[in-house]
Amino acid sequence: MKKNKSSSLNNLLKKAKQFSYNKYKSALLKFKESLKLESFKLGISKTERYKKILENFNQFNNLKIPIKKGNKIKRSDSLILKISEKDRYKKLIKGINQFKIIHIFNKKSKKFITDFQLSNNLLNQFEKIKNLKFLKSKFKLAANKTNKTNKKYDQKIGLAFYGDHNLIIASTIVDLNNNIKVISLNEMPIPGHVIGDSLVEDSNELANIILDSLTLLDLLNSPLFCILSSSFFNIHTFNTSDLKQISQSDVQVQSKSPYLPANTLVDFLRMSDRKISTGLVRTIYSKRDFIKSWTDTLEIVNVPIVGLVPAAIHVFDSITSRITEDTTFLIDIEATQTTLLIGSNLAELHSQKLPFGYSLYLTDNLKESSKNYFERALNSVKLIIKETNQELPSNIFVMGHGLDKLINSELSLPKGFQSISDLNLSNYSYQPKTMQIHETVSKTIENSIYSLVSILSSCV
């Protein structure tokens, strides 16, 4: 008897589940059919459609309802007010407003090209690229990383890095979740008559080299993100109360420049939302003629430029946003110089130039070369922090092209140093063996690539 009751109950449950499923399936089919109607075709694959959606939402967001005393609010107006107060509406507006439009002037067609692109705090005050309008915004959707990516929103971006007379140009794909895939790459040495110690000596020749590489990697129609070696820049942070004005002409700002005043270019970034009297301002110094030589070159190349940025500063900000230390140390290793960054999260940041690089210690014995370099680097850091009464952190973070020269898969960093690749600053894919184009002059550039995708990830 109990078995019969149990069997009847099971059958009843099965029928209920089947009924619920059939009802759900029927509703789902009706919904899919409704999506086929023209009224639901709101595809946003084209820029103009993005613009129309943005305009409609902005009009709705800015809607103000005039209310006279003694008059009742109309039912339709009341509904709009209620919708605008809903959290879902606010989140939707916030998501839509993350789309930013950048206008790029095309000299050939004499028209502005509208595209969805991105930039960071860029050195955009140079005369040669004054037609480029950069936006300080993030091209990143608030999407959960567990969501499936939609390939039609993937952005192909060219990534160029110059340092130590070496130029790396990579073709990358960035998806909505900020995942980066390196799909092809070209590394080439740059002769001294093209780029000297710092300046571009022959802009036409360098532009031809870059254009040949962009053609090879199919990047002529993609935006280009340019990264320059840390050794070309100096960083200092001021209290705004110490400055009469946040300007290059300020005496305090000029006093920290390692270059002659007439040949100094300064970029400013306010580092806090506090009052001006107590706020911090980060200053990035570079040679004016050095930057001009690069903007002259990029003007000849004539592709959309995402940014022209120093290398280490973006990696430093990514590190300090993930770890909690009073003071963070980062070294960027190059052939003849080592750049040391000391600071903390969105606060003070200073750079120091250590007058040696990996080339001074490089021998046939890699283990001995690495040991000698890092011993001197550690001693240099200890001397610097002794003067400022700072404590040595548990690890000094390391990045850059020189890291590929001093370690390999069998030789790790000595105690007290940690590679930035251990911090997972970027979700990226780099598989040289599967690439159709992967031309390099170095034995390995694994650490260089990680530095570059980390910079790109922090800016997009």
Output the tens digit of pLDDT for each of the chain's 460 residues: 444 445 555 554 555 555 455 554 565 555 445 444 443 333 334 344 444 444 544 444 444 444 444 444 343 333 334 444 445 445 444 544 443 333 333 444 443 333 333 333 334 434 334 333 332 333 333 333 444 557 778 899 999 999 999 999 999 999 988 999 999 999 999 999 999 998 999 999 999 999 999 999 999 999 999 999 999 999 999 988 888 888 898 999 999 999 999 999 999 887 665 544 458 889 999 999 999 999 999 999 999 998 899 999 999 999 998 887 888 999 999 999 999 999 988 778 999 999 999 999 999 999 999 999 999 999 999 999 888 788 888 899 999 999 999 998 889 999 999 999 999 899 999 999 999 999 999 989 999 999 999 999 988 7
DSSP string, 52-76: HHHHHHHHHHT------TTPPPPHH
94 belongs to a structural domain? no
86 belongs to a structural domain? no
pTM of the model: 0.68
**Rounded Cα–Cα distance for residues 405 and 369 (Å):** 9
The token pair at 335 is 């052939």
Kind and range of the H or E run holding 371:
helix 366-388
Work out the burial of residue 380: count CB atoms within 10 Å of its CB; fewer than 13 is exposed, 13-18 middle, 19 or more buried: middle
Question: Among all chains, which residue has been given the structure tokens 């200053």?
Answer: 283
28 belongs to a structural domain? no
**Rounded Cα–Cα distance for residues 306 and 319 (Å):** 22
352 belongs to a structural domain? yes
Beta bridge pairs of residue 419: 398
User: Residue 381 CA to chain centroid, in angstroms?
Assistant: 28
Give residues with Cβ within 8 angstroms of 260, minimum separation 6.
Answer: none
Alpha helices in 86-154 (DSSP H): 87-96
Instruction: Identify the CA nearest to 295 among candidates 194, 203, 232.
Output: 203
DSSP string, 244-272: SSSSTTSHHHHHT-SS-GGGEEEEEEE--
**Rounded Cα–Cα distance for residues 151 and 353 (Å):** 43
Cα end-to-end span (Å), the chain:
68
158 belongs to a structural domain? yes
Question: What is the count of structural domains for the chain?
Answer: 1
Question: Among all chains, which residue has been given the structure tokens 């011993």?
Answer: 375
Overall size of the chain counted in residues:
460
262 belongs to a structural domain? yes
395 belongs to a structural domain? yes
**Rounded Cα–Cα distance for residues 162 and 311 (Å):** 10
24 belongs to a structural domain? no
Measured in degrees and rounded to the nearest 5, phi and psi for residue 349 equal: -150, 130
Rg value, the chain, Cα: 28
Residue numbers of the domain that contains 246: 102-459
Other residues' Cβ atoms within 10 Å of the Cβ of residue 365: 10
Instruction: Decide: helix, strand or coil at residue 49.
Output: helix
The token pair at 325 is 């230390």
